[in-house]
Amino acid sequence: MDQNRSGNGGGGDEQTEGSSGAGDQNEELGQDDPRNISHQDEEHSAAARGAEVELSPEERNEVKSAAPHGGEIEDTPEWPAEESEQDEARGEDGEGDSGERQRESSSRVSVSEEAAPRPEPPSGVSDDEYKWHTYKVYPSGRPDAVEFIDLYKSFGRADILRGLNMGLPEGMVSMIIGPSGTGKSVCIKHMVGLLYPDKGDCLVHGQSVPNMPDDDLFDMRKKFGLLFQDGALFGSMNLFDNVAFPLRQHTEMGEDEVEDVVMRRLNEVGLGSALTKMPNELSGGMRKRAGFARALVLEPDIVLFDEPDSGLDPVRTALLGELILEIHRDMMDEAKEKQKEHLPTFCVITHDIMSARRVADYINVLWKGRIVEAGPAEDMLNSENPFIRQFLSGESQGPLTMD
Ligand SMILES: Nc1ncnc2c1ncn2[C@@H]1O[C@H](COP(=O)(O)OP(=O)(O)OP(=O)(O)O)[C@@H](O)[C@H]1O
Ligand SMILES: [Mg+2]
């Protein structure tokens, strides 16, 4: 992600006047409308998961150590002292390793010291309020599958995204973390064109979502699998039909083929024997896994998880994290085997610091509508920035308070 990128101002008006977001819009669109992606929503609460998807410690280490580590940063910027705030925020961008998740973490690159000027705070806001924002971006070594460029979004007088620059590198499991109400779910809605920016742009595989004609937008949405924060399975359909729904809706597949795909996905998430159960017969964790299976049936390039762990106990949360990693790894293998144009990109929104530590290849920390710092998990977990340190360790002492 390039700190210097500038927006094309290509935003547009919100898709519906005074809209309240995905839910309302989907209600307006009706269930059969392809723009209605509410069927991909997921519901949250507690439950068990099949043990067959657990990773061994060795496998987990392999995954974690394979998380691409960006190029060596030559000159780590000082975390901003009061007097150095006008110093350049160094959004180092560089070419790191070539992007193989499994290997190639040894490639080191030098990053030039060319520094971008520190971005101005949003208008009417003191620089002091953004003093923890170093805007530092440790290189991922990958192109971004999704990119936010100087994106602004307000609801009435509430300014939520305030010049957001953020990237989700292709082929990685990224996390967006930040305090409640900072606009994480709003980000997701911009990616799929359910909300439009007031200013700035959101690119998916290089294409501007707000500027897409409707037909392209419908096609682009097929790239995504979504598990929304407050979603649910269709209560009137059994598990099989819930997971088959996107295939029946969006493809010409015959029922035999639908069954193959659905069974493969349900087995993957450990629900192969629960096909005929209705959603209210499933535990919360099972419903999450069912939603995960449903999000995968259209072979999305990008899977978005909005707080997949909310309502789960720590053990189920850990198991779900492992499932996410395992499925990502399988999808990576498949994408390479089939020589797909894009590697699978996952984006997980979570409050759970342990999940971030276990699952993330790449972490974006969002606060006050902008990224404080972003980069490969290892770099972020070693950040010197007190805000990042506090947030990633979940400590009560530090710059972040309840205000
Ligand atoms: N459609 C909308 N209309 C008006 N306000 C909205 C809309 N969508 C989001 N907001 C507001 O934007 C802010 C950010 O919301 P968002 O749901 O993105 O937060 P979040 O970071 O996901 O928080 P949490 O971690 O609690 O889920 C909130 O104050 C919310 O009330
Ligand atoms: Mg949210």
Does ligand 1 have an atom closer than 6 angstroms to the CB of 355? no
At 319-377, the pLDDT tens digits run: 888 989 999 999 999 999 999 999 999 999 988 788 888 899 999 999 999 999 999 99
What number does the ligand 1 atom closest to the CA of 21 have?
1
> In the predicted model, what is the mean pLDDT of residues 297-302?
93
Residue 318 CA, ligand 2 centroid: distance in Å: 20
Residue 86 within a domain: yes
15 lies in some domain: no
What pLDDT shows up at residue 198?
A: 98
Q: What is the pLDDT of residue 255?
A: 96
- Tell me whether residue 221 is in a domain: yes
Model-level pTM?
0.72
Range of weakest confidence among 146-150, 285-289, 341-345: 285-289
CA of 183, nearest ligand number: 1
**Residues 6+ positions from 337 with CB-CB distance below 8 Å:** none
Mean pLDDT of 46-72: 35
pLDDT average, residue stretch 116-136: 88
Residue 313 is predicted with a pLDDT of 79
Whether residue 3 lies inside any domain: the answer is no
Asked whether the predicted pLDDT for residue 289 surpasses 60, the reply is yes
Q: Is it the case that residue 209 has pLDDT exceeding 60?
A: yes
Q: Judging by beta carbons within 10 Å of its beta carbon (0-12, 13-18, 19+), is residue 403 exposed, middle or buried?
A: exposed
Choice between 229 and 354, residue whose per-residue pLDDT is larger: 354
Indicate if ligand 1 lies below 6 Å from the C-beta of 24: no
Domain of 305 in residue numbering reads as 22-393
Q: Is 350 in the pocket of ligand 1 (CB under 6 A)?
A: no
| Higher local confidence (pLDDT), 63 or 270 | 270
Strand partners, 155: 158
Judging by DSSP bridges, how do beta strands 173-177 and 362-367 pair with one another?
parallel
Residue 195 alpha carbon, nearest atom of ligand 1:
1
Q: Are strands 144-155 and 158-169 parallel, antiparallel or unpaired?
A: antiparallel
Neighbouring C-beta atoms of residue 330, cutoff 10 Å = 13
Give how many domains the chain has, as a whole number. 1
Strand order in the sheet with 136-137: 136-137, 370-376, 362-367, 173-177, 345-349, 302-306, 224-227
Q: What pLDDT band is residue 229 in, cutting at 50, 70 and 90? A: low
Provide φ and ψ at 312, rounded to 5°: -100, 145
The CA 97 to ligand 1 mean position distance, Å, reads 36
The strand pair at 370-376 and 362-367 is best described as antiparallel
Instruction: Choose between 174 and 306: higher pLDDT.
Output: 174
More confident position, 396 or 98: 396
Assess if residue 236 is contained within a domain: yes
Question: Quick check: CB of 49 below 6 Å from ligand 1?
Answer: no
In a domain, 170, yes or no: yes
Give pLDDT tens digits for 178-208: 888 899 999 999 999 999 999 999 999 999 9
pLDDT in tens, 77-87: 333 333 333 33
Query: Would you say residue 1 lies in a domain?
Result: no
| Average pLDDT, integer, range 127-139 | 92
Mean pLDDT of the chain, nearest integer: 75
d(CA 224, CA 288): 17
Q: Does residue 205 lie within any of the structural domains? A: yes
The number of beta carbons lying within 10 Å of the beta carbon of residue 389 is 17
- 44: Cβ below 6 Å to ligand 1? no
Cα separation, 14 vs 30, whole angstroms? 19
pLDDT(20) > 60: no
Residue 301 maps to which CATH number?
Answer: 3.40.50.300
When pLDDT is cut at 50, 70 and 90, the band that residue 396 belongs to is low
pLDDT mean over 97-106: 38
Residue 318 has pLDDT above 60, yes or no: yes
Gyration radius of the chain over CA positions: 21
Residues 6+ positions from 52 with CB-CB distance below 8 Å: 270
| Chain segment 245-279, per-residue pLDDT in tens | 999 988 999 999 999 999 999 998 889 999 999 98
The three-state secondary structure class of 204 is strand
Burial category of 361 from C-beta neighbours within 10 Å (exposed 0-12, middle 13-18, buried 19 and up): buried
Q: What percentage of the chain has pLDDT greater than the value 90?
A: 45
| Residue 359: both structure tokens together | 């699952």
Look at residue 310 in the predicted model and tell me its pLDDT: 75
